[in-house]
Amino acid sequence: MNTATDTRHLTPALSNKELDARRVAATPRGVGIGTPMYADRALNAELWDVEGRRFIDFAAGIAVLNTGHRHPKLIAAIQAQLERFTHTAYQVVPYESSVHLAERLNALTPGSHAKKTAFFTTGAEAVENAIKIARAHTRRPGVIALTGAFHGRTFMGMALTGKVVPYKVGFGPFPGSIFHVPAPTELHEVTVQDTLNAIQQIFKCDIEPTQVAAIILEPVQGEGGFYVMPSELMVALRALCDQHSILLIADEIQTGFARTGKMFAMDHHSVVPDLMTMAKSLAGGMPLSAVCGRAEVMDAPAPGGLGGTYAGNPLAIASAHAVLDVLEEEKLCERAERLGQVLKARLESLRTKVPQIAEIRGLGAMVAVEFNKADGSPDPEFTKLVQKRALDAGLILLTCGVYVNVIRFLFPLTIEDAVLAEGLDILATAMTA
């Protein structure tokens, strides 16, 4: 056997253009691509493409890299695990690191009640399993979600997602007993009371509350536009859920792990959810997701009802332990708060020069800016233009929002001050050019 390591796939001697021609020929267009360059290497908040060009990364793999690209502690933890074993299938031969991570998450998540955690691989899978667990516990089918929500690309994920284009187009029928109510968004004059009224309307027209298993929501909508769900909503939903024995599920897949200035976005509220989904920055780039919740709820499915071949992969678990250590050691909750303030102040300073700015909002470092036209309608063209100008100048930005008129900021919380300042200068030029 030839044991020499073949690294040709890691260092392609091709241009971005040549690679893109191969991509178009070899992979389906349904996997949409946001940037025209191909990654070669990355470190903290910087990324270099195969042609050697440097970019500042304000996307962080869509909220996955709160601890940055290739944090040395994560690399060391993954390497140490590589020396021991890479896969056993947890259901076949379990390992202590997984049990320990469950213990750590049970302690870190909001609420002092007894909790249990199950691991999966993707965010969508965590959502699927949260609904499975909620249905098994309540023995009810119904689930209520919010408009603008994003919960993943699997069938239940799609059904719960409150945005048709591009996520649901052509993929139906979806699982039944899923209902959507408007998300409260001050800018669009949808109040918390509107949301609560819509739930009552569902109870009247579609399904009785005793058949509803769960209400699921993102405490700050991610893909939907970084709308912060008010405390008033959380308190009212908790009371409604308690009244009808419905479970409250917080999807913290994008909001978790210090992004909002607290470990979880639900830590900003006085009420606790029954179940929480997490993924993305949990393992800093390794595929890992989790459902954490009330012990008695989590124990509803019978043995064998939960799991997956790769669920809780040992390398990803090792990485997640390092993420939790880094979040604490580098005080990344405090840092997120500070970075968010710096970003918001810079955006505010641009208001007079950029009349398209309709709102600057966010929690901690989970900040976004929404653009409207002079007549108050969404301005996706300007949003796209800012994104393109920024990319041309070496800054990777992500858009979001039902009308794709929002730029969201997701830079690593470990970003160096100088790199952040450089990125913000590029952003300011892109918005004002």
Determine which residue in the list 151, 262, 268, 269 makes contact with ligand PLP, applying CB under 6 A: 151
Task: Dihedral sign for Cα 255, 286, 313, 330, please.
Answer: negative
User: Which listed residue (46, 49, 57, 223) binds ligand PLP by CB under 6 A?
Assistant: 223
Dihedral sign of CA atoms 275, 178, 145, 359 in order: positive
Residue facing ligand PLP at closest CB distance:
123
Nearest 5°: phi and psi at 247? -90, 140
Q: How far is the CB of 117 from ligand PLP (least distance, A)?
A: 17
Dist. CA 265–CA 273, nearest whole Å: 11
User: Of residues 19-78, which lie at the interface with ligand PLP (CB under 6 A)?
Assistant: 62
Nearer to ligand PLP, 209 or 362 (CB): 362
| Cβ distance to ligand PLP smaller for residue 307 or 394 | 307
Q: Which residue lies nearer to ligand PLP by CB, 106 or 277?
A: 277
Counting contacts by CB under 6 A, is residue 402 touching ligand PLP? no
Read off the DSSP letter of residue 178: E
Helix (H) or strand (E) holding 107: helix 96-108
* Residue 127 binds ligand PLP (CB under 6 A): yes
Least separation in angstroms between residue 129's CB and ligand PLP is 12
Q: Which amino acid is at 194?
A: D
Nearer to ligand PLP, 65 or 127 (CB): 127
- Name the minimum Å distance from CB 396 to ligand PLP: 16
Query: Closest distance between ligand PLP and the C-beta of residue 277, in Å?
Result: 7
Q: How far is the CB of 256 from ligand PLP (least distance, A)?
A: 9
Tell me which stretch binds ligand PLP (CB under 6 A): 166-174, 215-223, 261-269, 349-357: 215-223
Q: How far apart are CA 86 and CA 70, in angstroms?
A: 19
The answer for residues whose C-beta is within 8 angstroms of residue 241's C-beta and 6 or more apart is 215, 247, 248, 274
How far apart CA 125 and CA 111 sit, in angstroms, is: 24
Does residue 428 interact with ligand PLP by CB under 6 A?
no
Q: Does 203 bind ligand PLP (CB under 6 A)?
A: no
Please state the φ and ψ torsions of residue 256, each to the nearest 5 degrees. Answer: -75, 170
List, in sequence order, the alpha helices (H) in 261-301. 295-298
**Dihedral sign (CA 263, 400, 274, 295):** negative
Give the total of residues touching ligand PLP (CB under 6 A). Answer: 15
- Rounded-to-integer distance, Cα 140 and Cα 275, Å: 16
If binding is defined by CB under 6 A, does position 253 make contact with ligand PLP? yes
Work out the angle at residue 121's Cα, subtended by the Cα atoms of residues 100 and 10, and round it to the nearest 5 degrees: 110
3-state secondary structure of 362: strand
Note whether 278 and 122 are within 8 A (CB): no
- Specify the stretch interacting with ligand PLP by CB under 6 A; choose among 37-45, 69-77, 119-127, 168-176: 119-127
- Rule CB under 6 A: choose which of 184, 209, 222, 285 binds ligand PLP: 222
Smallest distance from the beta carbon of 377 to ligand PLP, in angstroms? 26
Do residues 74 and 323 make contact, with C-beta atoms less than 8 angstroms apart?
Answer: yes
**Given the rule CB under 6 A, which of 37-45, 66-74, 147-155, 178-186 is the region that contacts ligand PLP?**
147-155
261 binds ligand PLP (CB under 6 A): no
Q: Can you give the binding site for ligand PLP, defined by CB under 6 A?
A: 62, 122-124, 127, 150-152, 218, 222-223, 251, 253-254, 279
